[in-house]
């Protein structure tokens, strides 16, 4: 059972609203999940049949938790029949009953990613024998995007300026025909076919509109075009659609989310009641004031301002560091200090950053200081494939007898040594008790290995021997590693294989960060050599924390590392928002390519509002790029925060400075940033 009196006035309004469309603008930490579950419970108490209630979420976990909370409030019997589901599971239920109207049998299969890949590759081979895995990835990604924008195979148009689109236009219809022949659909079809059913069959639209009289949608700001269309259809008969979201936390445009869905909700549903949840139950006043100051600079947004009854709290600290390593050291110092000063656990701390490649310096420093940590939303730096590929080369250059790594790189990047040839080389090595390295130096002795393959093996061994000599020069370790990158064309291989250009860019950035790791090693080591660098890396072994799923990770007493995108929906007593520089936050692609500073500002807002008690900003004066230091500029978002909310770190101030000097220094700092980006 729940008590309406336990809710604040705005929450109570949202819960008791019954008829008509409702836009619930739920700011960060405003208790939106509690409002949704209380609203469902209230409808049930008002006598609304459970079968008429539909709540849609984005994850199975969120749906499961919502069902459990409602059952705790009203009891198992009263909740029986309500539907709380993800978009995909809702559509599966509808299609299982009615997909025969689209020419499918009701026992259809759902193709997962691997099934889709195999089918696309087969279709590409029919069109061209020269197609690659990269082509398949690109085509599949484009088809998925088309379906999420409700573009069918018949309506897909190729562009003269886009060669890939011509390939998609050829494959997409064949792909859909093949799926139908196999009585199968993919995950994107689940939504698009459901929309098609409701648009083409008035009786189905009437049936489901009548059944789901009261509809609620969580995280509405993250919906894409096909999800929006589905919701509008289901609510068209009665208009009882309650959407809950926060346009200020719309940060998933790269996944297809369209912030216009929530910004234009009142136009799409005239007469909408708008309720703002602005009271925050998570963060202190100074943290919220900073968040409000940043986000108000976005022009296209719903006006709202978070507030709290819990007081101002501590000021935000800003640390301007020398470089990435200094930033990592200063963050560790603050973790040690705050842990013992306030009797906190390691699990109370989170380090947030814009790109996953930024985790490298923090991971190294955490391990150096034996501080337990977990990495959310990505692999640990030295576990990433693109990093392991480079390290495998370095290990073979150091020790050609390392056959595990030798086999990893033998045909990576591709050099014409196929799987069959590799198998014959391995058998030849095992049968004669000769090392693989020796066999590769005499490949012509291996039966059935073609001349072209033998030549590729010879080129490979020559390359390894050449770099063995180059890496013997300790003063040129960094330059030699850069030369290896260029000669092997790692970046070209990543872009060739990766279907999503943004993912490819991140993987290339990770490899560039390995150059920075080498540069740091050289700065810190009196007698550097390749063996020493590899020994340093080998300390980062598989026993390190961070191997579990997200839920179990967060349950550990360990510092959390994660990107800003991964942090949404979480909260921590102490948060370090790092890399507050132009090029990181806002990211360089938003500055020079997409010009979407608004989404970057929303990311900053999300990061700020993860903090409950203390928030630390940090940035660097210079960072390494390709191993060389380059100057950095403070993030423009710093200039948007009133200077009275921020306290400069003691490390930035002169040791003999007076309070007047410090005040002048702080004033000058903020004046400089304001001049840089405008007042």
Q: Which helix (H) or strand (E) is 602 found in, with range? A: helix 597-608
The DSSP bridge partners found for residue 526 are: none
Contact of 302 with 25, CB cutoff 8 Å: yes
Which of 543, 617, 513 lies closest to 575 in space, CA to CA? 617
Q: CA torsion sign, 342 to 347 to 351 to 352?
A: negative
E strands, 148-272, are 184-186, 214-217, 241-245
Beta strands 316-321; 373-376: pairing state: unpaired
- Consult the annotation and say whether 170 binds a ligand: no
Query: What residues have CB less than 8 Å from 129, skipping those under 6 apart?
Result: none
Distance separating alpha carbons of residues 473 and 475, to the nearest angstrom:
6
Query: What residues have CB less than 8 Å from 375, skipping those under 6 apart?
Result: 359, 363, 546, 553, 561, 562
CA distances from 555 to 3, 340, 374, 552, 558 (A): 30, 21, 10, 5, 8
Q: Which residues are catalytic?
A: 32-33, 218-219, 249, 610
The DSSP bridge partners found for residue 648 are: 318
* Helical packing angle, 225-234 and 133-148, nearest 10°: 30
Distance separating alpha carbons of residues 607 and 578, to the nearest angstrom:
10
Contact of 55 with 243, CB cutoff 8 Å: no
Distance separating alpha carbons of residues 599 and 610, to the nearest angstrom:
17
- Consult the annotation and say whether 31 binds a ligand: yes
Contact of 627 with 484, CB cutoff 8 Å: no
CA 23 to chain centre: 27
- Give one DSSP letter per residue of 506-542, joined into a string: HHHHHHHHHHHHHHHHHHH-SS--HHHHHHHHHTS-T
Q: Which helix (H) or strand (E) is 622 found in, with range? A: strand 622-625
Distance separating alpha carbons of residues 144 and 345, to the nearest angstrom:
43
* Helical packing angle, 451-470 and 477-488, nearest 10°: 160
- Consult the annotation and say whether 27 binds a ligand: yes
- Consult the annotation and say whether 30 binds a ligand: yes
Distance separating alpha carbons of residues 653 and 436, to the nearest angstrom:
59
- Consult the annotation and say whether 26 binds a ligand: yes
Q: Residue for token digits 């049968």?
A: 431
CA 32 to chain centre: 23
DSSP state of 472: T
**Which residues are known binding-site members for ATP?**
26-33
**Which residues are known binding-site members?**
26-33
């Amino acid at each position: 059972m729940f008590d309406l009196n336990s809710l604040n006035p705005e929450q109570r309004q949202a819960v008791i609203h019954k008829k008509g469309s409702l836009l619930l603008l739920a700011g960060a930490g405003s208790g939106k999940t509690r409002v949704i579950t209380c609203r469902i419970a209230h409808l049930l108490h008002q006598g609304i049949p459970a079968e008429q209630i539909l709540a849609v979420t984005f994850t199975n976990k969120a749906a499961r938790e919502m069902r459990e909370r409602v059952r705790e409030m009203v009891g198992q019997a009263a909740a029986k029949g309500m539907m709380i589901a993800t978009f995909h599971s809702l559509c599966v239920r509808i299609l299982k009953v009615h997909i025969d109207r689209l020419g499918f049998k009701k026992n259809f299969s759902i193709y997962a990613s691997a099934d889709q890949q195999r089918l696309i590759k087969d279709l590409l081979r029919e069109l061209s024998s020269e197609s690659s895995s990269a082509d398949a990835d690109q085509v599949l990604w484009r088809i998925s995007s088309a379906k999420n924008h409700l573009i069918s195979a018949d309506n897909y148009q190729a562009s003269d300026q886009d060669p890939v689109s011509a390939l998609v236009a050829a494959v997409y219809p064949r792909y859909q025909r093949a799926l139908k022949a196999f009585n199968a659909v993919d995950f994107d079809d689940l939504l698009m076919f459901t929309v098609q059913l409701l648009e083409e069959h008035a009786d189905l639209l009437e049936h489901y509109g009548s059944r789901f009289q009261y509809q609620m949608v969580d995280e509405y700001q993250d919906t894409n075009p096909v999800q929006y269309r589905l919701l509008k259809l289901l609510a068209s008969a009665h208009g009882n659609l309650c959407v809950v979201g926060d346009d200020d936390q719309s940060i998933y445009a790269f996944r297809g989310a369209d912030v216009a869905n929530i910004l234009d909700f009142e136009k799409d549903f005239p007469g909408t009641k708008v309720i703002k949840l602005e009271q925050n139950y998570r963060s202190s006043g100074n943290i919220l004031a900073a968040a409000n100051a940043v986000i108000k600079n976005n022009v296209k947004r719903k006006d709202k301002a978070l507030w709290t009854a819990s007081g101002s709290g501590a000021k935000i600290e800003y640390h301007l560091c020398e470089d990435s390593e200094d930033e990592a050291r200063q963050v560790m110092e603050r973790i040690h200090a705050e842990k013992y000063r306030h009797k906190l656990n390691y699990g109370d701390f989170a380090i947030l950053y814009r790109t996953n490649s930024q985790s490298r310096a923090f991971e190294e420093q955490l391990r150096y200081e034996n501080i337990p940590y977990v990495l959310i939303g990505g692999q640990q730096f030295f576990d990433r494939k693109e990093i392991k590929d480079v390290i495998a080369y370095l290990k073979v250059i150091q020790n050609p007898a390392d056959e595990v790594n030798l086999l990893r790189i033998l045909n990576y990047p591709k050099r014409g040594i196929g799987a069959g040839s590799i198998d014959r080389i391995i058998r030849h090595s095992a049968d004669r008790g000769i090392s693989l390295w020796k066999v590769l130096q005499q490949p012509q002795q291996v039966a059935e290995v073609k001349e072209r393959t033998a030549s590729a093996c010879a080129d490979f061994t020559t390359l390894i021997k050449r770099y063995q000599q180059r890496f013997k020069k300790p003063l040129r370790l960094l330059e030699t590693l850069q030369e290896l990158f260029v000669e092997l064309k790692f970046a070209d291989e990543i872009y060739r294989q990766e279907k999503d250009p943004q993912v490819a860019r991140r993987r290339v950035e990770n490899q560039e960060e390995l150059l920075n790791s080498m540069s740091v090693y050289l700065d810190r080591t009196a007698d550097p050599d390749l063996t020493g660098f590899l020994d340093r890396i080998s300390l980062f072994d598989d026993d390190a924390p961070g191997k579990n799923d997200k839920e179990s990770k967060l349950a550990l007493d360990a510092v959390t590392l994660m990107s800003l995108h991964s942090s949404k929906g979480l909260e921590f007593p102490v948060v370090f928002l790092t890399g507050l520089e132009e090029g990181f936050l806002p990211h360089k692609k938003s500055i020079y390519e997409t010009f979407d500073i608004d989404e970057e500002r929303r990311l900053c807002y999300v990061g700020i509002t993860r903090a409950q008690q203390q928030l630390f900003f940090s940035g660097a004066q210079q960072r390494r790029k390709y191993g060389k230091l380059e100057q950095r500029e403070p993030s423009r978002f710093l200039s948007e925060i009133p200077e009275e909310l921020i306290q400069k770190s003691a490390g930035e101030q002169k040791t003999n400075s007076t309070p007047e000097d410090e005040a002048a220094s702080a004033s000058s700092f903020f004046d400089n940033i304001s001049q840089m980006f405008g007042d």
